[in-house]
Each structure stands twice: as structure tokens, then as C-alpha cells.
Structure 1
Amino acid sequence: MTDIPQRNAHLLQTRWPLLFDRLQLENPESVPAQLVEGLGSTLSISGVQLTSRHDRSAEAQLQAATLPADAQHVHVYGTGLGDLQMQLLQRPALQRLTVHILNSAVFALVVQILDQSDWLKDPRVELVMAGDHAEICLPFFALPAELVLADDYNARIRDRLISEVHLAFNNREFTAQDPEIAQRLEQAVPLLQRDPDVAQLFGSQPGRDCFVIATGPSLEQHFAGLKRVREQAVRPFFICVDTAYRPLLAHGIVPDLVVSIDQRISERHLPAAGSEQVGLVYLPLLARTLLESWRGPRHVGYCASPVYAQLREQLPKASLYVGGSVIHPAVDLAVKMGAGRVTLFGADFAFPGDKTHAGWNDGDLGPQLQAAKHWVLDGHGQRVRTQLNFRSYLVELERFIAGHPQVPFFNTSRAGAMIAGTRFDPEWCQ
């Protein structure tokens, strides 16, 4: 018999009694773990190795090297087998190490079978549940295995970590040096010279309810209701994203404004016919032919991307917030127009009902359903399929909402992702 479980448990109960009580609720035997051997050994959970099976120490050294050597406070997301914690605790400059649990059951298993007392007893260590915090902390290292294995309670922080890790990669696509991008920007100059600044719309709808309509599958539940509201004499202001425009028209719903930012949007998504009374708010990467064919009023703006740095100096315009998806500037526009409340339609960030988008076939607007290898929690607390970039878009919308507490936000479906900071609108939620 070994006293490892008792030693670990004593430290946990002594130092973090409330956290210890929560870990006691976990069943380590339910974790599908296997011992995997190579030059060394590690644990594999559902086919995911917690660490290298050849040289755990060398791996931890590489991980530690990504963090500033002089950092006094460092955050580690995931507990692993304690190797990274031990590497970081050797640093003379380190005064505090916060370890964030991403999977309670996995950690409960590890402390049952492996001695973790060396780092658990270090007075510089603080042990917390990742999901107890609304945001991530910097500087951090997130253990790759536990980004995959994160449990439901800690999933929201997992999504923020992945969004942060992938930020530089996601931004790589759009640079002003790209020939296609440079050509689009050059072609946009004549339009930028004559189209009104989006700032002219700011403050134009003070206190008015605003519907922001995206293209998630749950939008299909609301076509009839949106048409009924649209026909009322006194009604909310309708803003839709570009890919929702055609499905809305097909159901007799004419929005007040369409927002578009993506250079891949074409006349297929934004047909000019019938657009006379519809405003278009755009960023300069849209095709000039599409813009010139639009019959309604146009307003142009920028976002914070360095792609627009030179244009911003030459032809100043206001900016809208873009966090990777067109829903972000649509919501930002609603707030800047003075919306008294914002109600979201089709903001699913997931594929409920095994469908990718409302009004479009599988794969029309991006990856097919079969490519959805990730998940988020829906409004019922159940896992629903999604893709990685959708989780990042969700994170950025939640951050935007948190930054605008003066505006109430409502969601109209429990089928899509749970959006922190929103309430479910009882009038629309089934």
C-alpha cells in the first residue's frame, strides 16, 4: 500500500478545503485512463496523452521556456502530472504560481495515483478551478492535452485560452501586403471618398430596441415571428449580417441595415434587387462591383486591423469592433446607434440540429457539418457540435457584452451556444 493518496489529500484539504470538497464529488474510476510507455511513461485519457511518454522533464522545460523568465506571477491552465509546475517553481523570480484545474475528474485521478505533494505544498502555489473565473490571466501556459480534455464546467475558460493561443495565427490571413488585399483596398478608395462615414449612424436610434440577426440554424424558428414584427407600425430596428440577408428576403423580411466585412461576400449573398430601402454598412475589403450595384444607402467604416492603417490616415472614418465574425460589428453598430436593448437571433456559434446555417445548404458558407469536431454548451447545458473558430467568435462576443453593461442583451434560442451576459427572451425562446 502507498500513502500517496493520503499525502495529496491532506495537502489539498489543508490548503484548499472548499476545492477539496468539490474534488471529492468526482469519481476518478470513471476516467478512461491507461498507462502509456515509451522511453518513459505517462497517462492517456480517452486517447489523449497528458504528457510526453518519452521525456516529461524535457517537455516541461520547453513549455516553461515560453513564459518570461522574470515573471513574478505565472498561470498554468491544466494540472498535467505536475512537471511544468515543478519546472516553474525552480525559478528564483517566481513569487506566485496559480494552477487552474481544467478537468476535475482527471486531477482527482492523478492525485490518487501519483505523488503531487512537492508542488502542492509549495507556499507560492495557488490552486483554483478555471471555471470559477470569468476571464483568463496572463502570462499563462495552457497544457495542450487538457485543452482537449476540459470538462463542461471549465469549457468557457478553455475557449478563451484557445482563442488567445490562436490569435496570431487567425490574424495572419489579412495583411496589406497580400496582392489581392492590396488590390481590394486600392479599388475601394473612390467609394471611400464619397460614401458617408458609418459614424453618421451613431446615436440615430436612441433607446430603440434592436434586433441583430445572424445566420445560425435557430433563425429558422423565427422567420414567421420576425415577419410579423417587421410589419408592425412601431417595431424594433432590424440589423442583419450579410449571410442572413438572402434567407430573410426569402421569407419576406426586409432588414433596415446589412453589415458586411468579408472579402469573400459576393452578389450571391447580397443581391442588389430589392435593396433600395436597405442600408449597407461595410468595410473596404468588399468587392467594388458588389458595392456599386447596391441600390440602398451605403456607409463605410474600418476596424482595428492593421490592414486599414494607411487608409485610416488618408481617409479617416469611424471604426467598428471586429472579433473575427461579422456579428461583432453588427452588435457594435447597434450599441453605437443607441440601442436600448439588443436581441440576438441566429447567434448560435454552433450547429444545433446538425445544421450549419439557416437558409443555406451544408458547406455553402464554409466547412461542412462533418468537419465540426468541437463542442460548446447550449442553453440547456448540453454539448452541441461546433467548429473551432465559432468558439473564438463566441468568446469575443461575450467580452464585448461584458464591456457594455449599460445595454441589456437577449438571446432567442437555447439550441445554440450559451452566451454569457445574455438573458433568454421568453417571448422568443421555446
Structure 2
Amino acid sequence: MALKKINLVFFNHRLFMESLKEYPNSWIDDKRVNLFFAGELKYPSKPFLNVYAELILAEKGAHPLRDRVIMELDESLKKKRLEDRKLNYDIKNIVENDEYIKIDKSVSEYFNQYKDKTITVIAGGETIQSYIDNPIKSDCLIAVSTAVNPLIKGGIVPEFVIAIDGHDNMVDHFKVISNKDILKDSIFVYSPTIPHKMLQSWPGLRCIFKTNDSVFNRVQSTLKLKKLYCSGTVTHCAVDLAVKLGAKEVRLVGADFGYPSGYTHAENSAARKKANFKTRVTNYNGQEIMSRPALIAFMRDLEIYISLNKNVVFRSFSKESAKIDGVSLMI
């Protein structure tokens, strides 16, 4: 079959110009060839072939497309990791949590209760300490479970706490809280994939949801649960909850998608440890900060979600956090 069209995408202007000098370039005048700089495109077309050196040497403006190409290349590994997680944690936890699945409220009972309000979503990144030191008032706080202890130590109690992960050390997020009674009026929004002990240790109200993960198709008791968006991180669920609660503005705190100061989580978080990764992502200062491929993939998926919710304003609290397309800086 004769070639009708081919799209050629380069990721580095200087590398592209040098290659034109060194190699035959008559192809550039072929009308079947469409030439693009990666910064002009948001998503890779399929099918595609890539030169890995181009991805490694991509300039800043090409990083969004570079990241999405890497995500596509990593898709098979991602599927294997998800399947391993289902076998090791998720199905077991869902079965153990059956009593809660039967009696707890649906997350949908809270939808639109904050219509046209401002909601702050607090993820687990290390920049939440700046927020704790100088909090900005909003109508509602949603915190992921890793952020709860740092917030409480700073005198901040969220209206909602959210968790999805099934590994056993999730219980530590609540174990380190010295006075759990302070959370008795907070609502725990959870996926039944979390450890049973985590539910047992919660002192307050609860409501339940599921994600679009296929694991929920295997367990009859979860079929009617309402969904929150998730593409690998609880931060996605927290943002979707804010939107479904009716927010007109969603403020992101600790959604760093990188390690600005070299630590994985905020101070006083049970999950905090030293980070050591080679991947880099650009922050709101235009500086490169340490990250890892999974975090960047989560950020790119969040960007897609944000692009589909144009009626909501998204803002980021810290200029040290990774720059998210569609999210403006608050301060």
C-alpha cells in the first residue's frame, strides 16, 4: 500500500537542525510529509514509532507530548502493575469490607452540596506545609489520607478525607494521629479496596465510592456503587469529588507531582521519605524539580480531566509544584 501521509514530530529544535545538516533531507519537500514541533501537539497519534534519544533530549516545550508518548509505551507495564495490585490487595480488601459496603452511604448523597463554592483539595506533597503555615480560607477542604496528620498537627481539620489504596501501610496514615476524635465530624470517603483496619480505625462518618477499575466488575456487592474518576492516584478522586460536590473553583494544595525539596510527602506524614529519582518536571517558577514517570503520568491524566471540565476554575497554591496545564497559580 502506497504511503499517503506521514507526520514527523521533532522534540528538540537544535537537534533537528543539526540532523538536517548531517543527513539527506530531500524528504522535507515531499508533500506527504507533515512536520511538527512536539510543543504544538498535546497527544500522540496512533500508530507511532519513536526514537528514544529524541524523548531523552526533549526541550521544555515538548515535555507534555514526551510524557504522553512514554505513558503509551509504558501501558503494558501499567496494566501488569494494576493486575498485581488486584491480586495482592484489592479483591481481598473488598471481600473483607463487605459489611461496610452494605451499610455505608453513597458518595453521591453529598453531590452538589457545595454548589458554586470554592473547594480546596489537599494532596500529600511536601508543599502543603506552606499552606499549613499560611492557610487560605475556602468553603470546604478535601484531604487525601496521607495529608491528614500534617493538617491536624497544624490545627486544620478537613471536611472530607479520601482514600483508595489497598496496601497494608495505609493504616499508618491514621495510626500516627494522636487524637482521632478531632475527626468525628469529618466524612471519610473511601473505596472498598482500602484495608479493613483503616475503616475500623475511623472515628466519624463514612461514605463509599468506586473507580472505573475492572476489579469492581468481579464483586457483586460493588456493582451499584457510584464512581469517582481515577487514573492511578487518589488525587484524581479528590479533584473529581470537589467537582461533583459542585465547586466553581478548585484549589490544589500539595498536588506537586514531583519533589521540590527532595521528599516524597509532607512533614509529619507517615509516608514521608527521601526521594531519589532522575526524572524532571517543570514547576511554576520555570525550574526543573525531581519527579518520577508515574507522577508525571498522573499529572498528564489530570490535565485531560481538567480540559473536560471547563466550567470549573482550577488553581494551584504553590509555585514550587509542577506546572499543570489548565491550572493557574494562586499566589
User: TM tier, shorter chain?
Assistant: over 0.9
Residue type at the aligned position of 1:321 = Y
- Provide the rounded CA distance (Å) in 2 between the counterparts of 1:378 and 1:180: 34
- Structure 2 equivalent of residue 236 of structure 1: 139
8 Å contact 2:210–2:226 — kept in the other structure? yes
- Provide the rounded CA distance (Å) in 1 between the counterparts of 2:86 and 2:284: 42
Residue type at the aligned position of 1:350 = G
**Aligned partner of residue 330 in structure 1, secondary structure:** helix
- Structure 2 equivalent of residue 323 of structure 1: 231
- Provide the rounded CA distance (Å) in 1 between the counterparts of 2:220 and 2:208: 12
- Structure 2 equivalent of residue 413 of structure 1: 318
- Provide the rounded CA distance (Å) in 1 between the counterparts of 2:48 and 2:115: 41
1:189-208 maps to which residues of 2 (within 5 A)? 189-208=98-117
Structure-2 change in CA distance of 1:349 and 1:338 (3 Å): same
Structure-2 change in CA distance of 1:180 and 1:377 (3 Å): closer
Of 292-301 and 133-142, more deviation after overlay is shown by 133-142
1:327-346 maps to which residues of 2 (within 5 A)? 327-346=235-254
1:230-269 maps to which residues of 2 (within 5 A)? 235-264=138-167, 265-269=169-173
1:126 to 10, 34, 37: 34
8 Å contact 2:184–2:204 — kept in the other structure? yes
**Aligned partner of residue 342 in structure 1, secondary structure:** strand
- Structure 2 equivalent of residue 156 of structure 1: 64
- Provide the rounded CA distance (Å) in 1 between the counterparts of 2:291 and 2:42: 21
CA offsets 1:96-129 (integer angstroms, 9 cap, x no match): 1111111111111111111132x32332110011
Residue type at the aligned position of 1:269 = H
Residue type at the aligned position of 2:146 = T
8 Å contact 2:210–2:216 — kept in the other structure? yes
- Provide the rounded CA distance (Å) in 2 between the counterparts of 1:399 and 1:212: 18
- Provide the rounded CA distance (Å) in 2 between the counterparts of 1:145 and 1:111: 16
How many residue pairs match? The answer is 325
- Structure 2 equivalent of residue 110 of structure 1: 19
Structure-2 change in CA distance of 1:302 and 1:409 (3 Å): same
- Structure 1 equivalent of residue 275 of structure 2: 369
- Provide the rounded CA distance (Å) in 1 between the counterparts of 2:159 and 2:295: 26
8 Å contact 1:193–1:315 — kept in the other structure? no
8 Å contact 2:216–2:222 — kept in the other structure? no
8 Å contact 1:163–1:395 — kept in the other structure? no
- Structure 2 equivalent of residue 305 of structure 1: 213
CA offsets 1:367-421 (integer angstroms, 9 cap, x no match): 7422x11011111222111111111111011111111000000111111111100
TM-score by length of 2: 0.92
Residue type at the aligned position of 2:174 = L
8 Å contact 1:199–1:317 — kept in the other structure? no
2:264 to 356, 364, 389: 356
- Structure 1 equivalent of residue 75 of structure 2: 167
CA offsets 1:163-215 (integer angstroms, 9 cap, x no match): 22223312322338615433222112221111111111111111111000112
Q: Compute the displacement of 1:316 (Å).
A: 0.7
8 Å contact 1:302–1:312 — kept in the other structure? no
8 Å contact 2:8–2:34 — kept in the other structure? yes
- Provide the rounded CA distance (Å) in 2 between the counterparts of 1:347 and 1:145: 30
Q: Compute the displacement of 1:267 (Å).
A: 2.8
**Aligned partner of residue 49 in structure 2, secondary structure:** strand
2:121 to 200, 205, 212: 212
Structure-2 change in CA distance of 1:94 and 1:284 (3 Å): farther
CA offsets 1:248-293 (integer angstroms, 9 cap, x no match): 1111110000110101253320247122111111111111121022
**Which one has more relative contact order, counting CA pairs under 8 Å at least 6 apart?**
2
- Provide the rounded CA distance (Å) in 1 between the counterparts of 2:329 and 2:220: 38
Structure-2 change in CA distance of 1:354 and 1:313 (3 Å): closer
Structure-2 change in CA distance of 1:217 and 1:127 (3 Å): same
1:141 to 49, 70, 82: 49
Structure-2 change in CA distance of 1:250 and 1:177 (3 Å): closer
**Aligned partner of residue 173 in structure 2, secondary structure:** coil
1:15-26 maps to which residues of 2 (within 5 A)? none
How large is the RMSD of aligned CA atoms in angstroms? 2.0
Residue type at the aligned position of 2:12 = N
- Structure 2 equivalent of residue 178 of structure 1: 87
Q: Compute the displacement of 1:218 (Å).
A: 1.6
Percent identity over the alignment?
28
The yes-or-no answer on 1:295 pairing with 2:199 is no
TM-score by length of 1: 0.72
Q: Compute the displacement of 1:314 (Å).
A: 5.4
CA offsets 1:218-257 (integer angstroms, 9 cap, x no match): 211111322x73xxxxx42000111111111111110000
Q: Compute the displacement of 1:315 (Å).
A: 4.2
